[in-house]
Amino acid sequence: MPRHQVLSRLAGRRGDDEGFTLIELVVAMLVISLVLLGLMAAQTSALVTGAQARQRTQAAAVANQTMEQLRALPWLTLSKGMHTNFVAASGGDANVSSGRLQPAVGGPLNEPLVTSSTQVTSMPPLSGAAGTNKTISSDPGGTGTTFTTRVYVTSAPSAPTGVLTLTVITTWPAKSNARNAYVMLRSQAYAPAGGCGDASNQPFLGACQALFSGSGGVTGPSVVVSAVAPGAGQPAPASLLPGTDYSVATLSGGSVGATMNAQQSSSVDAAVQHARSAVTRVDPDLPETASGGSKLANAASNDVGSAGAAPSSPPDVVGSGSSSAVVVAGTDVSLTLTAGSGAAGVAGASTTSSCRTGIPAGQPCARGDLTGGTPSSVVIRAGSTDFVAASIAAGGASKAFSARFSSAAGTAGVGCTSLSGAGCGSGGASHTVGTTIIGAGPWTGATAGLVKVTGYSDSVLVQRGAGQPSTGAAASRSATIAYWNGTGYSSLSVSRSTDQTLTVPAVTWTDGTRTVTATATVTVTKGGDLPVAADPTGCTGDGCTLDSDSGTIVVTATYVVAQGATQYALSVATDLGSARASAAYKAAPLA
């Protein structure tokens, strides 16, 4: 072979073995560096955001604790305000100018400070050593963050005569910028003359104001489907159905609630949650599959001093729920959950307007209502045959309320029909459920299903106050339960005092390839009242409380599906829900 041909072949082979060029390596390293820098920046940002959130949470806790300490001071101490030396004692104060509170943070304020040269210097956080109004605390988490808290007493021009305004400002150095971060709390204080308002030794709030609370709530019907052992001695499978990675399926009917809390001021809250279907995976770290469950919330307050307090009379919050079917498809058996849609929800709260019939305007109240909607159902399909494990007809309604009566009495439907002393608080709830059928299928004989509940209705009303220290609950429940007895149907009339367990014998269906067997247990528990009153006459000390509920009706059906040597079983627990209510009254000491 000629020499030039050999050299040509060697040169070609050397070119085939060449790797990356220096420029390519530099570009690749640059790209990798940029990606790593981006990841480092994102991680750093997340750490900083988390640290800032922890700091703000801790600062809010410090400010709240300081406000509670301030509110617990004797009225004579509190009414003198800060010591006249508080600015010098605290090393200067950027929130004060010419004897007025003009905070450097938190928005525009311009209120005359209350000060006294006779104020003691042993009442922190208001007046500590040398008269300082400043306290310094460290983050107990050991992060090194220092919180500086200052308190102020002012006589705001907008406040009624004799009412003091309390302000707590907590600041700490923000790492994201050069300015301090802050939390500000505001409240008001006063002490009536005489009686519980003994100014010489009583905290103005705890001693001079009675305490009221009330709530009403309804938990709607629910159906829970879970896998159980198909026979004695056999373990329960982890999966709900063979060939799936789900463990539990739940259908939850709508729920409503209303709460009231009152002492120096009143606050009321209402909440509504629409019906929802969901299936949970075997691996708890994986997300569930769900549909429905939208929420409505509302709140009102007549607290004119606290920053961030709810408005006095916000508009009702309304909305209709929407839900679609959730399906678990197994190898031979499937499960379909359909929560009702279209129920009309209302969350109302007001301290000036009536939020429910029977509650006069001006009495703080809240209500949650949920009415109407489409039917709900849970269907098991074996092969091509459907078994309606549970069906709940449309037409149910859930209502809850709570109220504080101080200047006008309520009606029999909402309680507190007479007022004395500090007044009265009440809470109530009621709900109805459409015809409910459990275990419908192509059984021989039990053509109407295993259990049928019709005419379900319940209600609970409780009240506590100066004139109602031991008034009993007004509660009721009614329903009719028809259940398969092996040859026909027996009937049970349910009241609030019914406390009984019924066993439904097994029914069987087969198509020659697979066999489905079902049985059920009906458990009816009676409603209960829990009154507590160490002093049932005066409601002092821990006060007088009453909790009440309507009782429950739960039907648990077990389905065993057998196909050849393969068996698996499902437990379907249907709870028709219940109404509950509570009320509490604690008289002011020395009232």
Mean pLDDT, 10 residues at a time, the chain of 591 residues: 49 54 82 77 58 79 90 80 93 92 84 92 91 87 80 87 88 71 86 49 54 96 93 80 92 97 90 96 92 97 77 96 93 93 97 96 97 96 94 95 96 96 96 97 92 98 96 97 96 97 96 93 97 89 94 97 87 97 86 44
3-state SS class at 295: strand
Phi/psi zone of residue 342: left (φ > 0), alpha (ψ -120 to 50 degrees), beta? left
- What does the alpha-carbon distance between residue 407 and residue 423 come to, in Å, rounded to a whole number? 8
Which residue matches tokens 């075997």?
282
Half-sphere exposure of 207 (CA within 13 A, CB side): 21
Contact assessment for residue 580 and residue 549, using Cβ atoms and an 8 Å cutoff: yes
Three-state DSSP class for residue 565: coil
CA distance between the termini of the chain? 122
For residue 92, what are its two tokens?
Answer: 């200067």
| Vertex 339 angle, CA 329 and 499, to 5° | 105
My answer on whether omega of the bond before 230 falls inside 30° of 0, hence cis, is no
pLDDT in the model for residue 438: 98
Comparing C-alpha atoms, which of 66, 219, 214, 223 is closest to residue 133? 66
Q: Of 358, 364, 318, 324, nearest to 340 (Cα)?
A: 324
Task: Report in angstroms the alpha-carbon separations of 581 from 359, 368, 431, 474.
Answer: 17, 13, 12, 10
Radius of gyration for the alpha carbons in the chain, expressed in angstroms and rounded: 34
Separation between Cα atoms, residue 533 and residue 535, nearest integer Å: 5
Is the torsion defined by CA of 78, 83, 89, 93 positive or negative?
Answer: positive
Per-residue pLDDT, 177 = 57
CA angle at residue 392 from 390 to 394, to 5 degrees?
160
Exposure of 315 in the CB half-sphere (CA atoms within 13 A) = 3
Rounded Cα distance, 109 and 89, in Å: 23
Q: What single-letter DSSP state applies at residue 327?
A: E
Would you state the pLDDT for residue 196? Answer: 47
Exposed, middle or buried by CB within 10 Å (0-12, 13-18, 19+), for 223?
buried
168: phi then psi, degrees, rounded to nearest 5: -120, 125
Q: How many Cβ atoms sit within 10 Å of the Cβ of residue 67?
A: 21
The candidate with the shortest Cα–Cα distance to 362, out of 270, 466, 266, is 266
What CA–CA distance (Å, rounded) separates 40 from 35? Answer: 9
pLDDT at 2: 52
3-state helix, strand, coil in the chain (%, to 5): 15, 45, 40
User: What is the pLDDT at residue 199?
Assistant: 43
Q: What is the pLDDT of residue 263?
A: 83
Nearest to 201 by CA among 11, 73, 293, 376: 73
Integer CA distances (angstroms), 142 to 48, 145, 261, in order: 16, 8, 36
Instruction: Report the alpha-carbon distance of residue 104 to residue 124 in Å, rounded.
Output: 22
With b meaning 16 or more CB within 10 Å and e meaning fewer, what string describes 48-59? eeeeeeebbebb
* DSSP structure string for 272-285: EE--EEEEEESSTT
